[in-house]
Amino acid sequence: MLQLLEEKQEGVLFAELRNKILKGDGKSWSAFLEKYSRFIYSNALKQCSDFKDKEDLVYEIYCGVVKKLCQDNFRVLRDFEGRSDFKTYLFRIIQTVRQRILNLRNRQRKMNQQREDPEAISCGNYIPSGAVQFEEELRNCLAHVSPGEKQLLKLRYREGLTFRELAGRLSLSDGNRAAYEIRRILRKFAPIKKLKARFCWREDEYPYLAGILSELLFE
């Protein structure tokens, strides 16, 4: 079935589909999926050949890639600059989604082991309750943060620039303007506060969560 769909769309140009999708043409989005479904599925399958539950994993990857493509009003398609073939770009997305799913599975597995073996905490394998939900919610928040906004957060929280230094680096009027921009971006992470209230994380659990934040925000 996928082969028939791919053959049907073989002559359709990526740029043509992208332009129509960004103009709100729903039929073009369906045509886009028809054109690239076999590519996504086959490459996900190749990367999951060593897993016993590869069918489930491939399905998760496929759904994750499709979600990534249409996220934030098709930002991936808008940002694609055409420096390489789109399939090369798409292959990197497949790899990224696969790794994210495996990381989530690994964290969930460790959490399950931890419930069965409380001594794991003393062995340094402790994962805070809600870590998986934290990562998922964080990814949802980051989908609404532009590359420029990520760079601003990186300069502030990774490189430690003051608001005045930020203003100078980014040609903003003054430090107050830089502070306003930081607060505006941080409001996009408001859903994280609900998780904090739900799981009541302790102070010694924050380094682990901060590691996830750093990994995703500055990747």
- What pLDDT, on a 0 to 100 scale, did the predictor assign at position 126? 61
CA-closest candidate to residue 154, choices 141, 137, 169: 169
- What pLDDT, on a 0 to 100 scale, did the predictor assign at position 4? 41
CATH for 1-127, options being 3.40.190.10, 3.40.30.10, 1.10.1740.10, 3.40.630.10? 1.10.1740.10
CB proximity list for 166: less than 8 A, separation 6 or greater: 152, 155, 156, 172, 175, 178, 181, 182
Q: Quote the CA–CA distance of 14 and 35 in Å, as a whole number.
A: 9
Within the chain, which residue ranges are assigned CATH 1.10.1740.10? Answer: 1-127
- What pLDDT, on a 0 to 100 scale, did the predictor assign at position 157? 86
Helix, strand, coil fractions of the chain, as percent rounded to 5 = 80, 0, 20
- What pLDDT, on a 0 to 100 scale, did the predictor assign at position 121? 44
Residue 94 Rama label (left phi>0; alpha psi -120 to 50; beta): alpha
For the chain (length 219 residues), average pLDDT per consecutive 10? Answer: 43 81 89 91 89 87 90 85 85 88 76 57 59 85 87 87 88 87 91 86 81 79
Full-model pTM: 0.57
- What pLDDT, on a 0 to 100 scale, did the predictor assign at position 143? 85
Q: Quote the CA–CA distance of 181 and 169 in Å, as a whole number.
A: 13
Give the rounded distance of the alpha carbon of 147 from its chain centre.
13
DSSP 8-state symbol, 83: S
CA-closest candidate to residue 103, choices 80, 127, 85: 127
- What pLDDT, on a 0 to 100 scale, did the predictor assign at position 116? 57
- What pLDDT, on a 0 to 100 scale, did the predictor assign at position 111? 63
Q: List Cα–Cα distances, 214 to 28, 69, 98, 204, in angstroms.
A: 36, 23, 19, 17
Q: Quote the CA–CA distance of 143 and 219 in Å, as a whole number.
A: 13
Q: Which amino acid is at 40?
A: I
- What pLDDT, on a 0 to 100 scale, did the predictor assign at position 159? 85
- What pLDDT, on a 0 to 100 scale, did the predictor assign at position 216? 81
